[in-house]
Amino acid sequence: MSNGNTAISIDSIRLNSLEDLNTLRQNIIDKHDPNKPEVLICHGTGCIANGSVEVIDAFKKICADADIDAKIMPGIKATGCQGLCSKGPLVLIKPQGLFYQKVKASDVEDIIQKTIIKNEPVERLLYKDPKTGKPIKTEEEIPYYSLQKRVILKNIGKIDPTSIHDKIAVGGYQALAKALKTMTPEEVVTEVANSGLRGRGGAGFPTGRKWQGALKAVEKKGGPVYVVVNGDEGDPGAFMDCAIMEGDPHAVLEGLILGAYALGANKGYLYIRAEYPLAVKHLEMAMEQARAHGLLGDNILNSGFSFDAQINRGAGAFVCGESTALFTSIEGKAGTPRPKYVRSVEEGLWGNPTVLNNVETWANIPLIIKKGADWYSSIGTPKSTGTKVFCLVGKVNNVGLVEVPMGTPITKIVDEIGGGIPSGKPFKAVQTGGPSGGCIPNKLKDTPMDFDSLTDAGAMMGSGAMIVMDEHDCVVDIGRYFLRFLEEESCGKCIPCRLGLTKMREILDNFSAGKGKIEDIETLQSLAKAIQDGALCALGTSAPNPCLTTIKFFKDEYLAHINDQKCPAGVCKELITYSIDPDACTGCRSCARLCPENCITGKKKEPHVINADKCIRCGICLETCKFDAVQVN
């Protein structure tokens, strides 16, 4: 079943009550020696790409070969995403809590010799404070982590996601056992409604109200009712659902089972995009282990309540993240949306009442049931309760997963937690909500990240991607990028989306080629309005947002493209030229050697010249030059 990760073999001991679960939990905790060293290696997608699988193998091999006392022989665990992706592969050493970054397989010997055997930190692998350069030993002391409020992400990176026992040890399935024993389904729905939880997929619809709507529909027309997990995360720059499914699959599953109990559903679906194979694998393992423990399937914990779920993999269409398209896809048809004038809670899967929630929303449910609605609603703002997981990406020092209370200002996330942008200057803008969201300029950096404030600013929360931009990002180019993405991803059912987005993109293409006319801006806004009003689903109605917000906040930059045929950010190829500053050029020939068009000439140790007619503006010379001699005009 598992290749890289060795799962704890499934004990087919069926649990029959809350007491059974507590006994098992105590057994697991008792068996674990908290003083024994443990190595937690990040096995999230980012760290895997940076070589964490090799690091895991090296730990296993070296530990097996080295002469280590059994008392300090470390346990080795591959965990979910530990969060600070730009510094990966990450390794946490317990019990000291040492945080190592950018660990390579060649560093493992040192870690074992120094940290495990001699209990000393490996200085060079510690995180360094970007301002003072001082090494920081533990995760808790690193501002990136200490400034966050990790509730959903609490266990991700700390437990082995392929082990239900790891999850049970940290309190997994306690909420489910509590609800089955002490709460009626109605009380579960009321608790969720009172928590103020709003859907984390982007639109922010109150989850409790959605559930109540489904119950009313069932009352009116009868069952069956379905519960569905939307794991078709597809926004560029978003990977929080991926991290949750990969790193803490039981949290999603427990939330889903609780929802099923509350709504009286016996069947659930987890719709996960096919590009997330590790999430699919971990959820499959989680379901199998939960079934073996009597936490999923027939007569859960001997309560009389039965529920099972299955995984449906998306075939790669972005639009299938839209609820109705997702349903048609599960039903076995091409994933195209249908109008939502009759809501999905009334007519969803196969025309039956269906509750669809996002991965992160489901992961919130066990916390609400375990700790109560009052605890939950004390976090965040009155209208947007709880925390939100954001993916901080783009031109920012600390790229990774960030969880903060709702309502945290953008500047706190980008400048404090994210450590600002690499150049040290203020960021130019932040794109929230992916291709459906908007571009928020630096002057609005105090905007709180909650559903309503973002909508007021013309953007939207979306699923939680925050793409940070600096002065080298062109807003026209950003608009083109998102429109091109949605043009490709449009299902093509309705005309405004299928044909209108292409036209919008063509107008922006003209801007970036210096062929724009001033009246095109008005045309663009009128066409955008028609698409917002006319498109069938949210993919189309929200598609003009990035373009419209950039026009709203960065009109000068658009005018520079149109009136002066200039791209101030130096991105739009047809509007820029490269040249070499003769005073700064040392004649090292690096750029000339790499130029694919051979259009850089000059003698060694003498200033070089770029032939503008032959230059294709690929930017290789700019990236290569160590002396900042290449200039963009």
Partner 1 sequence: MIKFNINDTEVEVEPGCTVLEAARQYGIEIPTLCYHESVAPSGACRLCMVELKDGNWSKLVASCIYPAAEGINIYTETERVHNVRKWLFEMLLSKCPGSNEIKEMASKYGVTSTQFPIENTDEKCMLCGLCTRVCEEVVGLSAISIVDRGVHKKIGSPFLVPSDVCVACGCCVTICPTGAMSARIDAVRRTPDVTLTPLAL
Pick the binder of partner 1 from 304, 341, 583, 613 (CB under 8 A): 341
Q: How far is the CB of 350 from partner 1 (least distance, A)?
A: 15
Three-class SS state of 473: coil
- What whole-number distance in Å separates Cα of residue 357 and Cα of residue 364? 11
Which distant-in-sequence residues (6+ apart) come within 8 Å of 194 by Cβ?
A: 208, 373, 374, 377
- By the 8 A CB rule, do 256 and 268 touch? yes
Question: Could you give phi then psi for residue 320, rounded to 5 degrees?
Answer: -70, -5
Pick the binder of partner 1 from 500, 516, 544, 568 (CB under 8 A): 500
Q: Which two tokens stand for residue 178?
A: 């509590």
Q: Which residue number, 422 or 492, has a Cβ lying nearer to partner 1?
A: 492
Q: Is 530 in the site for partner 1 (CB under 8 A)?
A: yes
- By the 8 A CB rule, do 105 and 57 touch? yes
- What whole-number distance in Å separates Cα of residue 132 and Cα of residue 226? 54
Pick the binder of partner 1 from 8, 29, 72, 334 (CB under 8 A): 334
Q: How far is the CB of 242 from partner 1 (least distance, A)?
A: 23
Q: How far is the CB of 333 from partner 1 (least distance, A)?
A: 10
Q: Which residue number, 423 or 523, has a Cβ lying nearer to partner 1?
A: 523
Q: Which of residues 65-124 bind partner 1 (CB under 8 A)?
A: none
Q: Is 584 in the site for partner 1 (CB under 8 A)?
A: no
Pick the binder of partner 1 from 495, 518, 594, 612 (CB under 8 A): 495
Pick the binder of partner 1 from 342, 594, 612, 616 (CB under 8 A): 342
Q: Is 166 in the site for partner 1 (CB under 8 A)?
A: no
Which distant-in-sequence residues (6+ apart) come within 8 Å of 366 by Cβ?
A: 172, 174, 175, 176, 251, 254, 255, 258
- CA angle (134, 136, 137) in 5-degree steps: 145
- What whole-number distance in Å separates Cα of residue 578 and Cα of residue 573? 10
| Options 150-158, 188-196, 444-452, 490-498: segment touching partner 1 (CB under 8 A) | 490-498
Q: Is 535 in the site for partner 1 (CB under 8 A)?
A: yes
Q: Which residue number, 488 or 613, has a Cβ lying nearer to partner 1?
A: 488
- By the 8 A CB rule, do 460 and 433 touch? yes
CA distances to 178, 189, 450 from 368, in Å = 12, 11, 19
Q: Which residue number, 182 or 341, has a Cβ lying nearer to partner 1?
A: 341
Q: Which residue number, 306 or 523, has a Cβ lying nearer to partner 1?
A: 523
Q: Is 503 in the site for partner 1 (CB under 8 A)?
A: yes
Q: Is 509 in the site for partner 1 (CB under 8 A)?
A: no
Q: Is 518 in the site for partner 1 (CB under 8 A)?
A: no
Number of H helices, E strands in the chain: 27, 21
| Options 107-115, 332-340, 509-517, 554-562: segment touching partner 1 (CB under 8 A) | 332-340
431 torsion bin: left (phi>0), alpha (psi -120 to 50), beta (else): beta
Pick the binder of partner 1 from 523, 577, 598, 601 (CB under 8 A): 523
Q: Is 339 in the site for partner 1 (CB under 8 A)?
A: yes
| Residues in touch with partner 1 (CB under 8 A) | 317, 334, 338-339, 341-342, 487-496, 498-500, 502-503, 506, 523, 526-527, 529-531, 533-536
